[in-house]
Structures are given as structure tokens and as C-alpha cells.
Structure 1
Amino acid sequence: MRKLISFTGVSLDGYYKRTAGEFDFPHVDQEFFDFCNQQNAHLDTLVFGRETYEHMAAHWPNTTEGDAHVIEFMNSVPKLAVSSTLERADWNNTTLVREAPAGTIAELKQRPGKEIALFGSVQLTASLLELGLVDELRVMVFPVLLGDGVSMLSTLSEQVELEHLRTTTFRSGNVLLVYRPA
């Protein structure tokens, strides 16, 4: 069975975006891009909720800044956009999932292939985590305090026990925390 990996970036005080919605605080350098390329080598499908999909679809097809391998990966890999309100998903190689996302994800996990990554999309992550479909949480903590913002998993309705798998510290001060549901 394929694993569903949730990857989210947060501030040290636990916010994944500012109150007004900006995600403008990550520390991104070559070491971060090297990590992304290493992680991407084990993935063959990306999943996004509506908000994250719209942000990613507006950024990646048009960017020339950053690592060329990451740009190529983001634009070419198969993607699922999960939304009941999104009218279309035009970003290259994207399938729009309007209904029964949990069933779609469960079925996708049964197919042969590499790991599936759920990038950002914290509401979708919370709902899939509660349904037992998330196999691993990867949280990149950026060395910044925002003081206010939107909490990473504020939509969780119940406690989820986690087992720590590993921690990686980057020269920039970024810290990757990796857990799996216990």
C-alpha cells in the first residue's frame, strides 16, 4: 500500500499562514531545495485542497525563480485538487475531485506507485488524519515567530496521538519534524 504523506510548513509558534492568508515567511535556500528534490524523488502524486491548489497553480506554472528540478516536478507530476467549489483545475496534469475525497484517496493508496504527498491543505489533512488515511506528518518549522495567524491543524475535532520518527535540522534554522499517527 502506498503512503500518504502530509507536508506543511509552519512558524515556530505554529501558524501555517498569517491571519490575512499570506504564506510569506519560509526560509528557502539551496539546502531546502535539496531536501525538496530528495523528498520529490519518492513521490508520484500530489494532493491539494482548494486554497492550496489555487495558490500553487498561480505560482508554479509561471515561476522561473528557485530550483529548476523543483519547478519541473511541480508542473509535471500528477495532481489532485480536492474541492466541491472549484469550477476547474487547469494546472498541468491535475484532476479535480469534487465528491468523496476520502474514498478517492483510499483507492489511490491501493494502486501501485510511489508515495502520495498532501502539500499544505491543512483542513484536508485534518479530515484525512481523522479518517486514518494520513500515514506520515512532515512539518517544516521555520525559525520565525508570527505572533498571530492561522493554526496548522485548528480544524481537528479530536486528539491524534503521534509517534516521532525523526528530526532534521537545517543550517538555516529550519527544523523538519516527522511523525506518524500512533
Structure 2
Amino acid sequence: MFSFMMTSADGYHADPGQALDWHNVDQEFSQFALAQLREAGTLVFGRVTYEGMAAFWPTPAGEESDPEVAKAMNTTPKIVISRTLPQATWADTRIISNHAEEELAKLKQQPGKDIVIPGSSTLTAGLLQTGLLDELRIMVNPVILGQGRSLFAGAGRTSLKLLKTRQFTSGNVLLYYQPITN
């Protein structure tokens, strides 16, 4: 199971207004995103990220922005971890509202492609100490926001082992880390 998140150079995944217009997204990023989605057998979201993704990808605007990514997002099975979401309207989505760690551990034991958490920093932070996350993929965008929502707010101290890096022509740098659980 791995998590992929985008962050500013100063460690924020969202600006104070929750806008994502600072994400450095180009053709190279879209190709990377599609390749990463092809690794996924299941996408797992927290409620806030799920609501944002569900409001975009299954719409004409989502499909026009990147047809291949939209198709992958819309056809991959999805899980949303939420105690407050009453129903999931995005195709092939189920809600886990209780015992999320246990349910994800069971899912992880099943054969198949990776379980991928795209975005969802709060969910990722909450899972860091569980041993369920095999890898963190953190894409650092060449921008300083100065304030916003910290990438790992509330996670507690976690050691990481750098596995590899990838530099994009846009200036983005992708860091692949393995969490070291104590």
C-alpha cells in the first residue's frame, strides 16, 4: 500500500483557501499519474479528498482535462474512509466507517495490484504508525506557500528511509520513502 501526495517546498499540501492551483501539473506529470494509476487495484480516500475527486473526475470537465486519467479514476474500485459520509455516489465506491485499519489490513492481504492513497494527507498521517503503509510518494512542487495545511499534521514522529528520487522537467521532485515503524 502506498500514498501519493503533492506538497509545496515548505511542506504544505493545501493553501489556506484549500486551492490546488499551485500544483505543477503538465504532460510529464499526467503520464506519471496515469502510470501510477495503472499500479492501483484499489484507490483509498479520506472523505475530503474523496468529495473533491468525486466532484471532478466523473464530470465532462474531468474527462476533458485528461481522458485517460479520468477513465482510470472512474473505473478503478474506490474506498472512502469516513464516519460522516452518508453515501458514496462515485461509481464503484464503498464506504468504510468503522475499523478502517482492520479492513485495510484484510484488503492488503488479498492478491492483486497495489492499494493506493492519492492525496488524503489526514488519512495517510493516521496510518503512518500502523505498519500498513509500505511507501510514501511525496511530490515536492517548486513553490513556497508560506502557510496552509501541513502535509503530515498530527502524524507524530516517523522515521523514513529514502528509496529513490525522480526529478521532473517542471521542477517537481518525487521522493519515494519507506516508513520505518517502531
**Offset at residue 20 of structure 1 (A):** 2.2
| Alignment of structure 1 residues 1-182 onto 2, 5 Å | 4-62=1-59, 63-156=62-155, 158-182=156-180
Contact 2:37 2:73 in 1 (8 A): no
Give the alignment's Cα RMSD to 1 decimal. 0.9
Deviations 1:129-175 (A, max 9, x none): 1111111000011111111111000111x311110001100000011
SS in 2 for 1:127: helix
Alignment length (residue pairs): 178
**Offset at residue 67 of structure 1 (A):** 2.5
Could you tell me the TM-score, scaled by structure 2's length?
0.95
**Offset at residue 38 of structure 1 (A):** 1.5
Deviations 1:82-116 (A, max 9, x none): 10001111101100111111011000000111111
SS in 2 for 1:59: coil
Q: Which stretches of structure 1, 4 residues or longer, exceed 2 Å deviation after superposition?
A: 64-67
SS in 2 for 1:65: helix
Q: Distance in 2 between matches of 1:163 and 1:123?
A: 21
Structure 1 residue runs of 5 or longer lacking an equivalent are none
Structure 2 residue runs of 5 or longer lacking an equivalent are none
Could you tell me the TM-score, scaled by structure 1's length?
0.95
